[in-house]
Structures are given as structure tokens and as C-alpha cells.
Amino acid sequence: MLPDDAVERIVEGAQSIGKICQSKGIGEWEVVAFQSYGHELDIEAGKITLAAGGGDGGYGVRVLDGGRFGYAHLVDVSGAEHAVSQAISIAKVSPSVEGFCLPQNQKSTDVLGRCDSKILDVGPEYLLEQADSILSEVASLDSRAVVTGGGVGVSATAGAIVTSQGILSSGITTSHGAGVQVSIDEDDELTSAWESSSSRKLLKSIPDCIETSVHWAQCTRGPIEVDSQAVDCPVLMTSEGFSPLFSVCIPAAAKGEKLARKESFWSGNEGLMVLANDLTLIDDGLMEGGMGSSSLDGEGVPRQTQTLVENGRLVGSMWSTRDSAQMMAEGRIEYAQSTGSASRGSHQSPPYTGCSDMILKSSKGGKSRDDLISHMENGYIVHSVMGAHTANPTSGDFSVTTSTILKVVDGQIVGPIKQAGLSGNIAKALSNDIILGDRPIIQDSYSTGGMHIPDVLVMDGFRINPA
């Protein structure tokens, strides 16, 4: 997918932009570059409807003078003079942050598994075969089931960062993703389920998410009648159902800037208990094959494996360079420095604080889903939610809906209900009686990075309101 000289070309481009910064007398500058190529196939109504491929990329330049920074982006090096001048103009009118300077070059740890050479050789023909296999698999699992939406895709990205402080790093990352919306429409009843998988490595021809999607389209058929009154009860949230809420609230709560500004539900609790005493929260920036892991963060600072919450106690927070300098300059915190937690959405915006690969685990280990259901006795299983993005990351409050929900009585699943509201406070729930499953699954995230979350049985703090 990538030209053989893709990395060399973007490094040369970044260096040439750096020379322009130097020629204009800029003391500190940073240039990032990305070039991505990919192939994808869309599936609708049980058929492959679109095959597409192409590339995207460009350069971003950040200049710094006296604590003031300006940022501009460009597609081609031919526009570098204008972009650098634009960044300088922005810096002149930006507020100064005392002590803010770009990071120096530091020794970093190599992170494996970020590039799979097999993906680099994947073409549209492979994806066509994979899509056909997925359609056949769904039909073989249930003749009534149809893939009503989704697709498969692969991509490769060449990236580089060059700075005035001696940082020069480049490399290639790959990804392979598949997602399907499986629907069963029979006897005037329509049920459906969405599942997806993504990896830095080449996925199996038929990813595990395919069978899972068919299963949930099947097991949510034939809804039973239940009392429509709202009830506080135990809720077993599968990894797929819990991760969206988790990714909206928890990474934000662990950002140093949010904690310092009193905008986190953990603010003022540094060193105190914020989760159940068996729970530990880790942001692993060095995870082999992690979707958010790398040797360096978005500013060129070495990534690290950082424990944020240890046995329930808040012991760490995530910082980027500018956030740490600004909070100290404002007197909100005595001392802070980058934790290698700067992320970039693309070359079009400056770096911001974000997680890499976040892991929630328990010192008590994990239980199988069957064991969790048995322990719950009476309650509900929720596999997906709609509206997770509306959760309040400052308070932890949320109110979402779900149509993939099963009722449990005396430790046995008695049937699905058509729809329900689910509300509560994620901070309070995680600080109480929580039991984790035994199989963490990497999930797509509303935040940066990846979420490695198992099934979570919440014994107190969630409310179900059947429709």
C-alpha cells in the first residue's frame, strides 16, 4: 500500500520545513508528518456495495517563542513558507505560558507489533475474499441473518516527527478492521447487533466479532414482558457495552489538567481511594501491538507504562508538555511534567493529552461470564448502549438506552426485553462492589488509544428503566 520511499519522503519534507523555521529565526519548532494509504469495502443489505482506496496526509508545524505557540498545517511542502509564517503570526497573538518549551530528545523504548508486513501486501482482492467469507459465515450461522451494514478495511501510515530539540523519529503503523451490523427480520420482528474488531495485525479471515454479532441478533428476539418501573439492580455490562461509557469518562478523569482545574470527578482525591480497593488502572504506552502505543508520544516524549490507580488509590495522572507548564504557571499545581501522554488526531491539530492503551484489572482476578451471571442472581445483562458520548466526564453521570439487554432471574437468563434506559454514575459504580470478567477485549474508543476492558458486573449504582 505504501510507496517504498514513503517514510524517507516525509522525513525529508519535515526537515525542509524545519530549515525554513530556522531561516526565520525561530528558536523552537516541531514538524510532524503523516501519509496514509488504505483499501476498504462496504457492505449493505447483504451485498458488497463499494470498494474504495486512496491516501491522505500532510504536515503540521508548531513554533514556540517566549511561551507562545502557533500552529499551522499544510498538505504539500510547497506551501511551507506560508504555513510557517502563519504559525508565527498566530504565536505573536497567543497568550504566553511561563516555562513552556518543547521537549528535549530522550532515550526511548522500542515498541513491537505496530506494523504487520502482511497488511502492507493486502490489496482489494483480499478484502473482497474476506467480505465474501463474512457474508457466507453469517448465512451459515443463521439463514435468517443478513449483514445490513459494515465493511472491512486495511490501512498503513508513515509518520515522522522532527524538532529543533534534536528529536527525529519515523516509522510505519498498520491496521486492519472489520465491522458488521447483523439483522434478523422475521415474523414482524427485527433485531440487530453491531460488532467490530480492529488490530495492528492482520485479522483472521472471519473475525470473532462476526459470530458475536449473529449471537446477539438471535438472543434478543422474542422479548418478554417486564414491569416498566425503573429499578436499581445489579447490571452485568459486557466489555462491548461498558467500554464506550468507560472511554468517555475515565481517561478524562485521569488527565492532569482536568484534575488541576477541578473538572474531574477525581479532583482533590490524589492519593485517596477512587475505585474499589481491588481495581487497578494502567495506561500502557509500551504495549506490544497496542492501538495507542508507541516509542514516543505526539510531542516526541518517550511513552511509558503508567499506573494511574493502584488498588483503588489515585496515584498518577496523564500530562502533555504544554498542559503541565500551563497548570504550574497558573499556580494550580506545584509541579508537573509530561508523562509521555501527548496524542495527535492528525497533522491538522496540535497535540493534546490522551491515553494510549488503558487497562482495567482486579487483584481478585476475573470470573467467567457464566459465573458473573450466577453471582448476579437477579438483574440485567447489557451488551451495547446508545448515546454513550452524552455521558458527563466531569461528574460521571450518564443516561443511555439499550436494545441488547437480557433479564436474569435466579442466576438464569429468562429472556430479552425490547428496550430500556440505563442510568447511573460511573465514578460511584466503580468505587463500590465490582466484579470483573476474565477476558479483557480491546475496544474502539471515544477517547484516544484503546480500551482493554473485561465484562463488568456492577452490583450497586445502576438503574434500569424498561421501555
Q: Coil, strand or helix: which one is 392? A: coil
pLDDT exceeds cutoff 80 at 91: yes
**Minimum mean pLDDT among 49-53, 264-268, 397-401, 434-438: which range?**
49-53
Can you read off the three cell numbers belonging to residue 50?
A: 463499494
Domain boundaries, the chain: 6-219, 231-466
Instruction: Summarize pLDDT for 323-343 with one digit per residue, the tens.
Output: 999 999 999 999 999 999 999
> What is the structure's pLDDT at 270?
96
> What is the structure's pLDDT at 441?
87
Instruction: Summarize pLDDT for 124-148 with one digit per residue, the tens.
Output: 999 999 999 999 999 999 999 999 9
The distance in angstroms from the start CA to the end CA of the chain is 48
pLDDT exceeds cutoff 90 at 445: no
Cell 504550574, residue located: 328
Greatest pairwise CA separation for the chain in angstroms: 74
Average pLDDT over residues 418-444: 93
Report how far residue 348's alpha carbon sits from residue 362's, in angstroms, rounded to the nearest whole number: 38
Bridge partner list, 305: 284
> What is the structure's pLDDT at 358?
97
Report how far residue 333's alpha carbon sits from residue 15's, in angstroms, rounded to the nearest whole number: 36
Instruction: Summarize pLDDT for 273-288 with one digit per residue, the tens.
Output: 999 999 999 999 999 9
| Angle between helical axes of 208-219 and 124-141 (0-180°, round to 10) | 30
> What is the structure's pLDDT at 446?
73
Model confidence, pTM: 0.95
Backbone angles phi, psi at 275, to 5 degrees: -125, 170
Instruction: Summarize pLDDT for 374-388 with one digit per residue, the tens.
Output: 999 999 999 999 999
Report how far residue 186's alpha carbon sits from residue 361's, in angstroms, rounded to the nearest whole number: 41
Q: Coil, strand or helix: which one is 383? A: coil
Backbone angles phi, psi at 323, to 5 degrees: -60, -45
> What is the structure's pLDDT at 415?
97
Report how far residue 96's alpha carbon sits from residue 98's, in angstroms, rounded to the nearest whole number: 6
pLDDT exceeds cutoff 80 at 444: no
pLDDT exceeds cutoff 90 at 232: yes
Average pLDDT over residues 203-232: 95
| Angle between helical axes of 6-23 and 80-93 (0-180°, round to 10) | 50
Instruction: Summarize pLDDT for 286-297 with one digit per residue, the tens.
Output: 999 999 999 999
pLDDT exceeds cutoff 80 at 349: yes
> What is the structure's pLDDT at 307?
98
Report how far residue 136's alpha carbon sits from residue 129's, in angstroms, rounded to the nearest whole number: 11
Averaged pLDDT of the chain: 96
Q: Which residues contact 14 (CB under 8 A, 6 or more apart)?
A: 31, 32, 33, 59, 160, 161, 162
416 contacts 184 by C-beta, under 8 angstroms: no
Band of the pLDDT at 76, cuts 50, 70, 90?
very high
Distances (CA, A) of 221 to 158, 183, 186, 311: 45, 11, 10, 40
pLDDT exceeds cutoff 80 at 256: yes
Quick one: which H or E segment has residue 420? strand 420-425
Instruction: Summarize pLDDT for 392-418 with one digit per residue, the tens.
Output: 999 999 999 999 999 999 999 999 999
> What is the structure's pLDDT at 171?
96
What totals of helices (H) and strands (E) does the chain contain, helices first? Answer: 10, 24
DSSP state of 301: P
- DSSP string covering 303-364: P-EEEEEETTEE---B--HHHHHHHHHTTS-S-----S-EE-SSTTS--EE--SEEEEEETT
**What's 6-219's CATH class?**
alpha beta
Band of the pLDDT at 1, cuts 50, 70, 90?
confident
pLDDT exceeds cutoff 90 at 467: no
pLDDT exceeds cutoff 80 at 42: yes
Band of the pLDDT at 203, cuts 50, 70, 90?
very high
